[in-house]
Structure 1
Amino acid sequence: MPGVISRLYRGDIDIDFVGKRRLWYSLSAFLMVVSILGIVIHGLTLGVEFRGGSVIDFARTPGSSVEQVRETVRDVVGHDPIVQQAGPNWRVTTQSLDGDEVSKIQKTVSQRFGVSEQQVSSQVIGASWGGEVSQKAWVGLAVFMIAVMLYLSVAFEWRMALAAIVALVHDLVITAGVYAWTGFEVTPATMLGFLTILGYSLYDAVVVFDMIKEVTAKLGTSAKMTYTQAANNALSHTLIRSLNTSLTAILPVAAILFVGTTLLGAGTLKDLSLALFVGMIVGTYSSLCVATPILVTLKEREPKWQALAQRVHAKEASAAKAAARTAKEPVSAGSQNTTTPPADKRKKS
């Protein structure tokens, strides 16, 4: 294992990412179908900032649990609220409530958990404001995608821009599917997480594309490798860099997600950390196994690279035939080394 890792660091291991493109496409298609089914069946649990509603905060008391708080508020409002730990407080999100319902909740919570009514704060967020937040989030996402397309088209080419956009959409759909299946709330913090992972995935793709551009720029009419082989070679040299970058970024995010939300009870952190955790993993995968194979598929259709591939394959076939003929040729008689014993010289008596 240490030998494999050292070879990986030196770039001595060539992994045929592009040659296994059907495997990657099948895996990505499966993940996207599962994600879309989750979104269609369960839908996204939008936070109060998007759909509007009422937010009630009060201090956590010893012995209180999420289920107890949910049951207490449900008895008043008639539906299951969303209960989260927000530091030392409970944060309860419900549908929009009027003043009488809020007062009733304050009294019920005060009696059940032993907190004063003044310590139970409430906030009502209108649906129109939530709709405005949603609209701005979609506008921000659209502007980001357009900016990415323009930048990559100018810095590289439109094929790389298209491959990167497909990878970004792939990352967004799968991350949203995880939120749909797990039931995590989608809040403004989640949207920030989505934009962050898009930027991270784009960074990873740009690093890979830049190496591919550098390697393929040296290919001429007498090149000994095709565009596909050159792209695989570039991936092998950037693989360890991508893995190191991803690992160092995922470890602190995992600490926030699992330690911060589980041990420290900072429930609001999971809205951001889950998007980052899933998005970074999927983004690393997509930059290597989705964006690059798509780019190579598009580039292989260009006459320039098709002609180069034909020449390289012809040279490889000719070399293979020559090697086969050499292996089958018998050893000539003249090349055999024969030795004759020396004459037996006897003295005549």
Structure 2
Amino acid sequence: MSRLGNLGHRLHRGEIAYDFVGKRKLWYGVSILITLAAIVGLAVNGLKLGIEFSGGAVFTTPKTSISQSEALTKIEGDTGGHEATVQKLGTGSLRIQISDVTLAQAKTIEAKIATDLGLKADTIDPQIVGPSWGKEISNKAITGLVIFMVLVTIYLAIAFEWRKAIAALVALIHDLTITIGVYAIVGFEVTPGTVIGLLTVLGYSLYDTVVVFDGLKETTKDITKQNRFTYSELANRSLNQTLVRSINTTVVALLPVGALLFVGGGLLGAGMLNDIALSLFVGLAAGAYSSIFIATPLVADLKERDPQIAALRKRVLAKRAADARKAEEEPQDAAQEADGDEGDGEEHAAAAGVAGPRRQPASRNRGKNRPSGKRH
């Protein structure tokens, strides 16, 4: 059996355990720092919206030897005052994107780009998206995301309870914020592929969280009928039992996504692969983290505020304190009994000496039958 498999069996049997729930304040602090960094990156850089959302034009050239930097230098000043983004595709062609341009402006810019790059105008493939259509797509994406969040919360509240629904919702928002923040920091475009990746990430994160919650539900069944463990301790035990499964699932999911990101996007230069793969890669890692370090500890925090669970915690702690006092008293009682036994032994020995055989005095008839020395 491999080391990881052996570790999983030991975690499931409870032979070893990592105190995730007990150190929840540490994990909360780490998550807050990461989230703040993502928010700062989003506020400073902002999201780079693709033309599908902002409107604009994309010009795809045929295969050319012109590099990305050379193309950007040559078309500078001929983009109608708008910022241009140039990307070298794996096929050797160039993808030139210019946002916020009208149809008439796009036609003029297309002709100028063809002249600048020494290409025929009819060899350039233009794709023009109006700003009104892009705004409509943006609204639909936001609406779909909100509906997804609401349905997820309702489902979890019915399947489990409202505390777990809140914890899962916080974990989803955590994953979404980090993923969007990374997009802002890296500077990747937000395209429909990005939205698809985000929805996939949220679904995967929810799946991992539900697996942990299902194990927690079984572990804490009839919890108030015992006085050995608190809710937080049983939640931590349940989390340890599913830990290796969560890690294995995440690693297996990250490997192909990493191939999409670094091979498909980096080496082949496929723009759509970049958009989907980055959101998936960051979101999957954040989802695995939130399922382990955020969702379950937050459920434990919320449950400990329940009157029955709080009363259980008091009983468990009181029982442990009583057991500790009893354990301390037992050695003292044993020592006192040992001292008492030693004293009793001495008293018995003394009593035995008193009651033992006594020395007889000299016999009065000691000289009887001896010669008296008298002469007869």
Question: C-alpha separation between the residues in 2 aligned to 1:65 and 1:13?
Answer: 56
Q: CA deviation at 1:100?
A: 6.3
Partner of 1:69: 71
* RMSD value, Cα: 2.1
Matched, 1:109 2:111: no
Name the residue aligned to 2:39. Answer: 36
1:200 to 174, 199, 204: 204
Instruction: Report the Cα distance in structure 2 between the residues aligned to 1:139 and 1:279, rounded to whole angstroms.
Output: 20
Partner of 1:149: 153
Deviations 1:229-267 (A, max 9, x none): 000000000000100000000010001101111222223
Q: Is the 8 A contact 2:106 2:128 kept in 1?
A: no
Aligned CA distance change for structure 1 residues 247 and 81 (closer, same or farther; 3 Å): same
Q: Deviations over 1:141-188 (max 9, x none)?
A: 011011101110111111111110011011111111101111110001
Once residues 142 and 110 of structure 2 are traced to their aligned partners in structure 1, the CA distance between those partners, rounded to angstroms, is 35
SS across alignment from 2:46: coil
1:84 paired with 2:90, answer: no
Question: Which of 130, 136, 139 in structure 2 is aligned with 1:132?
Answer: 136
Q: 1:93 aligns with which of 84, 92, 97?
A: 97
The alignment of Structure 1 onto Structure 2 pairs a total of residues equal to: 334
Deviation at 1:124, TM superposition (A): 1.6
**For the residues of structure 2 that align with 1:184 and 1:335, how far apart are their CA atoms?**
85
**Percent of aligned pairs with the same amino acid:** 44
Q: How has the CA–CA distance of structure 1 residues 143 and 235 changed in structure 2, closer, same or farther, with 3 Å as cutoff? A: same
Aligned to 1:289: 293
Q: Quick check: 27-36 or 73-82, which moved more?
A: 73-82
Partner of 1:252: 256
C-alpha offsets along residues 54-105 of structure 1, whole Å, 9 cap, x if unaligned? 111112323x222122222223114431122444232211031554663554
Letter in 1 for 2:40: L
Q: Which moved more, 1:5-14 or 1:202-211?
A: 5-14
Asked if 2 retains the 8 angstrom alpha-carbon contact of 1:14 and 1:233, the reply is yes
Please list every run of 5 or more consecutive structure 1 residues that lacks an aligned counterpart in the other structure.
339-349
Aligned partner of 1:262 in structure 2 is 266
TM-aligned CA deviation for residue 4 of structure 1: 7.2
> Which of the residues 24, 28, 31 maps onto 2:27?
24
What is the one-letter code of the residue matched to 1:128?
S
In structure 1, C-alpha distance between the alignment counterparts of 2:3 and 2:265, rounded to whole Å: 38
- What letter is aligned with 1:102? K
Say which SS state the counterpart of residue 314 (structure 1) adopts: helix
| Aligned AA (1:45) | K
CA distance in 1, matches of 2:40, 2:313: 41
Larger Rg: 2
With over 3 angstroms needed to count, the CA separation of the structure-2 counterparts of 1:142 and 1:110, relative to structure 1, is same
Pick aligned residue for 1:277 from 254, 275, 281 = 281
